[in-house]
Structure 1
Amino acid sequence: MPRTSERGGPRTRARILEVANRLFFERGYEAVTVAEIAREAGVSSVTVFNHFPRKEDLFMDRATDATDLLRSTVRDRALGVDVLTSLRDTSLHLVNTRHPLSGVSDRSVPFFRTVAESPALVARARAIAYELQETLAEELERDPVFKGDGRLLAAFFVAGYSAMLVETARRCIAGEPTNTIVQDHGVRLERLFTALRDGLGPAS
């Protein structure tokens, strides 16, 4: 196969992701090697690792998006909007638009199934959750308005949200109706934020 330009930047990255995800969905994460992905994408393994430091990042490629979204949710909230309200509004927007980060997009079922079948991906998902918790805690600690315990709020929010995603994943894999899953996901989100606000008190 002719090699594509390895300096293609975003286009090269997108091509690698396209190939990697197709192979992972077809054969399972553990059965696919980086060398196979590189060969089919028309690049070298070095190029793959230049774009994705870990093999897991070829599948869990939205971690950076999640990090950026958390930061903007805290930093860019409107004047007078407290942190919990901003986190709630962002979370509900993800669900209502079926965003890939919501866990209820069209590709959620094969995604969740592939993760569940791979110990490496499960471990990476847990590591990403911790990284997001640290990111949120750091943002809250440097926020000029927030006066609460940033590390405690970050730990509770990420743990609660992660638990919700695990339950949603279980139901998706079990084949429950999508509309029911989405509706219940939204209800559980509201319960999560009610619990956070009632348990932690006002969070500016």
Structure 2
Amino acid sequence: MTLTETKIEGCFIIEPKVIYDERGYFFESFNAKTFYKNTNAKVRFVQDNESFSSKGVLRGLHYQNGSYAQAKLVRVISGNVLDVAVDMRRNSPTYGHHVSVELSCTNKKQLFVPRGFAHGFIVLSDMAIFSYKCDNYYNKASEGGIIYNDKSLAIDWKLSEDQILISEKDLLLPSFENSNYEPY
């Protein structure tokens, strides 16, 4: 398993060692010892989530406020997505910057998104099954987000506006500048 820190401190791309043979493949998707040694992350995953989405579905950009902040380890089981993490940590040198990475069932890459980030993804394939571990439980009263097409973030979602499917709730999210983010 290879862990590579992105241009944003604390975000890591994780690439497993995949063993192929005539039966198919095997890989270790998570190893606590390797993960903690290489990231120094102070997380303990407590919840696993999975979503199914069709092409063009954009989920995000979401975060949890205050003591309900969540670190996430995300991956794709089937299909292909563009995964995006936006640095919300006000004292960070990369505050307001984002990292994006294509995650797929083919490349088997994962992205570790620490607390203090907004997170979202868009499905680039016909469909995708997206899986993620969280280090804190979801709390509806603590949810927040940023509108996906915020001009100051300038995220290239890889699909045209007419191809994007987004929930009514996510269309009402505020800009980055007007977000209600509360540090953890």
- Superposition TM-score, scaled by structure 2 size: 0.28
Could you say which structure has the higher helix fraction? 1
- Superposition TM-score, scaled by structure 1 size: 0.26
Could you say which structure has the higher strand fraction? 2
